[in-house]
Structure 1
Amino acid sequence: MGSWGSINTLRNQIFIGFMFIMVMVLASVGYYAYDQVSVLLKNNAEKHIQQTAVQATGKLDVLLRGIDTFTAEIATSAQVQRMLANKIDGGEISFAERQLLQQEVRKEEAYATGIRSIEIYSADFERLLPLTDVNLLSRVPIDWITKVNDARGDIVWLGLDERFPDVVIAMRQVRLVDRSFSFGGYIMVHIEKSYFGLTEAVNPASAAISNRESMGLIDGEGRIIASDFADEAFMASRLQEGMGETASLDGEDYFVVKKRSEKTGWNIVILTPVSYVMEGITVLRTAIIVSVVVGGVLFLILTFILSTMITRPILNLIKAMRNARFGTLKPIPVTSATMEIDELGNTYNQMVASLNEMIEVVYQKEIIQSRTELKALQAQINPHFLFNTLEAFYWALDEKGDEELAQVVVAMSGLFRYVISRADEDEWVTVSDELDHAERYLKIMKMRMMDRLSWRIEADEASRRTPIPKLLVQPLVENAILHGVEQRVGHGTIALKVMPCERPGYTRIEVSDDGPGMDEDKLRSLLANLELGYAGAAEAKGTGVGLANVERRLRLYYEDETDGLEIRSEEGRGTTMAFRIPNELKGR
């Protein structure tokens, strides 16, 4: 399999996993940085626009204060006050006085900028200046006069003159100082629209602003007083319709900022191209994309190198392990600078050394096993020869009429077959098989002890079918004969009982004799030997070996399902040995 033969290779998984993580990290960081910085740039741009609007409003206030101051000086001049007071008293103003008033006003105009003309009217709307007989009601609408009256001496900015669209009109009442500031007449001032040029004064050092932003001064009726809009007529129509926070003009989007003048009620409107505000964001986005691409490429190269460094020793190890299928187990050179890979190589080399040793051991064992099997085949002749010999004894004794001895030979043959044969079969038999084997043993011992030995076997049919390990009962019978009957003077009896236990699902097997029994010290010593196990019992001068074997086998076969071997004995009254086994063994 090639290095890139499958997506499941370690190199591909490392490569794809690292790239995925890197892309996620770069994308997350880039998105977060773009979002935060774009918000910051946008906020800075908005602050700049707001600052521009504040500066423009400040400039407008300065211009308005200049007109306010100028008209206040004229309204409070001695000649205007005297002439209007005379008019209030019913006097007539001569033409010469009006000329003198005109000269006085012209002197004031010489120090003012943006003033096209000044008109002065009496309280009954008669024009005093200029020197033409025109009524105030013919010059301005009555509602404008109402606004001026409501202002009670403050200057009122009325807006564009209907006859001269390039002129802005402002009016104020003239209050007579010597007569407790009573109403005396009106002053109307005509101001050039160019006087309200705000753009150049806001930040003349910044050429970029003038190139990107457009600014206009709009009166209360939506008419443009001053602006640097490219198409004032189009802008006037759009302003009449109303604008929200953004507007689209000539295919370009603009942010719209409005700042209202409290003195005039006019609005300063600033249009800033969205592209200008987003210019820094676009540069930022480009920088982030380039950074992500460059970082991704660099990480791609580094990941490829790292994955190669990790997987190359593993691939060499895999190659060496594949060669093991052909019987070639050779250590590999360990050259990796990575501790884990180096440890993996060393572990493999140790495993190769161990496997080579094991192969040699297995090879030697196979030779020994072959020789053992050959000897086993040869040894199979010995039991066969023994059984045939016993069979010949039986027929010889039967022909001579010695039936009792013949039965003993049959019992010996059955005993040997039970012990020696079935070596390759299951060690488990039934209780019935064990009882038959014990009875054969008793028959043989009967031949030796003659009338000194008798026995009885009691077992119900259900208990006989209980499974039991082979040769578990016979050692108890043998122990009862050797240490019970043989130690008794005269006739002795062995009782072998198999009965259901008081605990449901269990069978009790009991072997008892009527021998001399044991005192308490000897019984305690025997039980101690059983606790020591088979080895401990063998050390006690060869006594109790069979009992320790039975105890140990019970513990091994039944574990916690048996209480082990139970021994009861009284001096002069015999000994009883018993154990309890389950009717069905778990796992069988």
Structure 2
Amino acid sequence: MKKLGQLNTLRNQIFIGFMLVMIIVLASVGAFTYEQVSVLLRNNAEKHIQQTAVQAMGKLDVLLGQIDTLTAQVATNASIQQLLAQEADGKRISFEERQSLQQDARKYEAYATGIRSMEMYTTDYRRLFPLDDISLDNRVPMAWINRVDSGKGRLLWLGFDPQNPDVVVAMRHVRLVDRSFIHAGYLMVYIEKSYFELASALTDNENKTGESMGLFDGMGQEIYSDFPADGDAGMMLDKGGEIIAVEGESYIAVQQESEVTGWKLVILTPVNYTTAGISVLRTAIMVSAAVGGLLFLVLTFILSTMITRPILTLIKAMRGARFGLLKANPNSSSTMEINELNNTYNQMVDSLNELIEVVYQKEIIQSRTELKALQSQINPHFLFNTLEAFYWELDDKGEEELAQIVVAMSGLFRYVINRTDDDEWVTLGDELDHAERYLKIMEMRMVDRLVWRIEADEECRKVPLPKLLIQPIVENAILHGIEQRVGIGTVILRAEPSSRNGYIRMVITDDGRGMDTDTVFGLLASMKEGHISGSKGTGVGISNVERRLRLYYPSENNGLDIQSELGRGTTVMFEIPNRGGGESGNEDDIDR
């Protein structure tokens, strides 16, 4: 784990980060380029194969068209039309007339290539030529005859001859032109399988691509094929547009169907031909990625060294600070950010050296004053012990009232003097108890001129607040309110839920002399300045309360709210959040 931490340097992070970015960019660009170009090459190869299939099918359609034209000429021959019209009138054709029909048909056979023979039958399936008595329904399946009958005079390609599998059979109606094209017989033609060899369509490309071709009729029977020896021709009919394996080599199968015959042409092209350009592209991308990666590796190493070298120099200078050697780094960098960092460090070193000198002088002064600080801690304990002694002495002599006053004074001093970090925040109950002790002492001093009351329930007493917020306000109410009037004065302390949800309101009311409006405004303005001048003190206490409220509750408190009327007393209020407290219940009043 420690070794891994040593490798986690800025230089390595820059180096690895740049390398990862480079790898991601090169991989993304390479993959995208490879995919797009591969698709383009594959599409071009498939277009070429499809074009070859269209050309071969076009040649097939020409061959079929030649047969169709030839049979149409035979069927519309004048001699044949005349003899078949005679047959249609019920007069049978004689043997000599059949011979003449056969001679006419042989003339057409002599000018055609690929036709082995032609036969003609009457509507009742009697053969007219050749000169024998075989009927049409005994020569071919009845289903073929029905197909021809529904063909409406078109030449129909029926398949292989049941008696000779090397011959393809086509048949059409012979219709009488002069008699509204009524059905007069059947013309059947036998074509050699070699007639449909389409290898010449691939002559220009077969040496380059290794393509092979197969022709199948509507029943899936092979008419022509130069597929590899162990290829299953029937299986290839179901693999149009797919990749198949023949003799351990992969081929792409493309199909094209003739609209005239319904025959299917299948072309097999080696996959190697379509992917030849892809392999070259893959090699080029890999070489480019390797060269680019090597160059990027070197450049990244140089760049990371240039960035981290001045930082390492600065780190060495900083490490010297652990041994008390705060020295400026004299080296500079051409990089603006690194140079600024170095200048900032040098300024920090100068500032720290000055602070060290100041702290050293302060430590000398502090060492001289520590003894006095220890001695000053004796005085509060001496005061508390003395007050405790007064209490027991008065209690022994039966002076219970004076003893309670001494106890209140002792508690008052302890609350004020004991200032620890944990004692900064108290509860509202603690503050009211402290104010109660102060009021007891002031009640004794003013004899019968002071009456006071504290109103607060237990929930309000649990609310936390900063220490010494209430007593300075009570003191101000007595000094500037009750003492300035003739007769008995009343001070009321009341804690109650505020109209704002989650807040409590602390109200200190006296029925003393009061103030006019101008005096109240002047008082509020002086409180903001932090000092209030007056005949009975400096006024620091009330200003301190105002400042501390705004300090501890910057967004939740508006400070002190003072309402007064000349001759009718003064009310001082403030609100604090009810953190941890609840709504008030039954009041716990303390009356004096």
Query: TM-score normalised by the shorter chain: which range applies?
Result: 0.5 to 0.7
Name the count of aligned residue pairs: 512
- Rg: which structure is higher? 1
The answer as to whether partners of 2:122 and 2:184 remain within 8 angstroms in 1 is yes
CA positional deviation for 1:64: 0.7
1:156–1:322 Cα change, 3 Å: same
User: Hey, what does 1:198 align to over in structure 2?
Assistant: 198
The one of 482, 488, 501 aligned to 2:493: 501
C-alpha displacement of 1:323: 1.8
Structure 1 residue 218: Cα displacement = 0.9
Q: Which residue type is aligned with residue 552 of structure 1?
A: S
SS in 1 for 2:232: helix
Distance change >3 Å, CA 351–CA 332, structure 1 → 2: same
Spell out the pairing of 1:167-246 with structure 2 (5 A cutoff): 167-201=167-201, 204-207=203-206, 211-231=209-229, 235-236=232-233, 238=235, 243=239, 246=242
1:197-235 CA-partner distances (Å, limit 9, x unpaired): 22322x5433466x4332211123322111222338x53
Alignment partners' CA distance in 2, 1:237 and 1:526: 112
Map of 1:312-461 to 2, 5 A cutoff? 312-333=309-330, 335-370=332-367
| CA shift for structure 1 position 371 | 5.7
Shift of 1:63: 0.7
Are residue 141 (structure 1) and residue 133 (structure 2) matched? Answer: no
Counterpart secondary structure, 1:352: helix
- Structure 1 match to 2:540: 549
CA–CA distance in 1 between the matches of 2:39 and 2:183?
56
The answer as to whether partners of 1:75 and 1:175 remain within 8 angstroms in 2 is: yes
Normalised TM-score (structure 1): 0.64
C-alpha distance in 2 between matches for 1:145 and 1:278: 49
Does the residue aligned with 1:229 lie in a helix, a strand or coil? coil
Deviates more, 1:217-226 or 1:266-275: 266-275
Look up the equivalent residue of 2:127 and give its one-letter code. Answer: E
Question: Aligned to 2:310, what secondary structure does the other structure show?
Answer: helix
1:285 deviates by 5.0
Q: What is the CA–CA distance in structure 2 between the aligned matches of 1:194 and 1:70, rounded to whole Å?
A: 18
The DSSP-based 3-state class of the residue aligned with 1:328 is: coil
| Aligned AA (2:539) | A
Q: How far does residue 65 in structure 1 lie from its aligned partner after superposition?
A: 0.8
Contact 1:456 1:494 in 2 (8 A): no
Q: Alignment identity in percent?
A: 45
Cα drift, residue 287 of structure 1: 5.0
Provide Cα deviations, 1:237-273, integer angstroms capped at 9, x if missing partner.
Answer: 5469x55654443344444333332322322222334
Kept after mapping to 2: 8 A contact 1:245/1:257: yes
Deviations 1:152-171 (A, max 9, x none): 54322232334443332323
Aligned to 2:404: none
What residue number does 1:540 align with? Answer: none
1:125 corresponds in structure 2 to 126
| 2:91 is aligned with 1:94 | no
Partner of 2:388: none
Evaluate the alpha carbon distance shift between residue 153 and residue 22 of structure 1 in structure 2; reply closer, same or farther with a 3 A threshold.
Answer: same
Shift of 1:352: 2.1
Query: Is the 1:119–1:128 Cα contact (8 Å) retained in structure 2?
Result: yes
- CA deviation after TM superposition for structure 1 residue 66, in Å: 0.8
Partner amino acid, structure 1, of 2:114: G
Call closer, same or farther: CA 1:296–1:518 in 2, change over 3 Å: closer
Q: Which whole-Å deviations, capped at 9, do the CAs of 1:51-78 have from their partners, x for residues lacking one? A: 3333222221111111111222233334
Partner of residue 255 from structure 2, selected from 258, 262, 283: 258
Distance 1:255 1:58 in 2: 21
Q: Which amino acid aligns with 1:76?
A: T
1:135 is paired with a residue of what secondary structure? coil
Distance 1:529 1:119, change over 3 A: closer
Residues 175-208 of structure 1: CA distance to partner in whole angstroms, max 9, x if unpaired? Answer: 344555444544433323222122322x543346
The equivalent of 1:490 in structure 2 is none
Matches within 5 A, 1:496-575: 501-503=493-495, 527=523, 530-531=526-527, 537=533, 544=535, 546-556=537-547, 563=560
TM-score by structure 2 length? 0.64
- 1:536-579 superposed Cα distances (whole Å, 9 cap, x missing partner): 84xxxxx6482333443443456669849999987xxxx99998
Indicate the larger mover: 315-324 or 148-157. Answer: 148-157
Relative to 1, partners in 2 of residues 1:363 and 1:263: Cα closer, same or farther, differing over 3 Å?
same
Cα distance in 2 between the residues matched to 1:501 and 1:477: 11
Q: Amino acid of the residue matched to residue 55 of structure 1?
A: Q
Cα distance in 2, alignment partners of residues 170 and 99 from structure 1: 23
Provide the aligned C-alpha RMSD in A. 5.7
CA distance in structure 1 between the partners assigned to 2:113 and 2:8 by the alignment: 85
